[in-house]
Amino acid sequence: MELTITPKAQSFITRMMRFGGATPGAGFRLALKPGGCAGYTYDFSVEQGPGPEDTVVHASGLTIFVPQDSVPYMNGMTIDAEDSIMRSGLVFIAPNSVKRCGCGTSVQLAS
């Protein structure tokens, strides 16, 4: 599985890991869940280790845990970060999305 993480996103995730109490072996869990204004939303958290069904991805010096059922939808995705007056957070750009919500965290996927 391939992920592209921009330098801004790498900095954002690194801060989340530090403030989330990450220990050696910890990672950033990224999953796709039903919901959001476009149909699916990205869910992320700091976890101390991978789950039994997780794919472990190493990208930009980070360890990312992705549940198996989310892998097909996230392969080739770019993770960016935005920090502006209007919004601060991660922005996900998935190659198989048909439509992305203005918030950047909800997508409609190709069938």
Q: Could you tell me the domains of the chain?
A: 3-109 (2.60.300.12)
Residue 73 confidence (pLDDT): 82
Residue 72 confidence (pLDDT): 85
HEC readout, the chain: CCEEECHHHHHHHHHHHHHCCCCCCCEEEEEEEECCCCCEEEEEEEECCCCCCEEEEEECCEEEEEEHHHHHHHCCEEEEEEECCCCEEEEEECCCEEEECCCCCEEEECC
pLDDT per position as a tens digit, 8-36: 999 999 999 999 888 888 999 999 887 66
Measured between alpha carbons, how far is 96 from 111 in angstroms, rounded to an integer? 9
38 pLDDT higher than 60: no
What six digits make up the tokens of 93? 């750009």
pTM, two decimals, is: 0.82
CB 101 within 8 A of CB 27: no
Region 46-62: mean pLDDT is 94
pLDDT per position as a tens digit, 70-101: 898 888 889 999 888 877 888 888 776 655 55
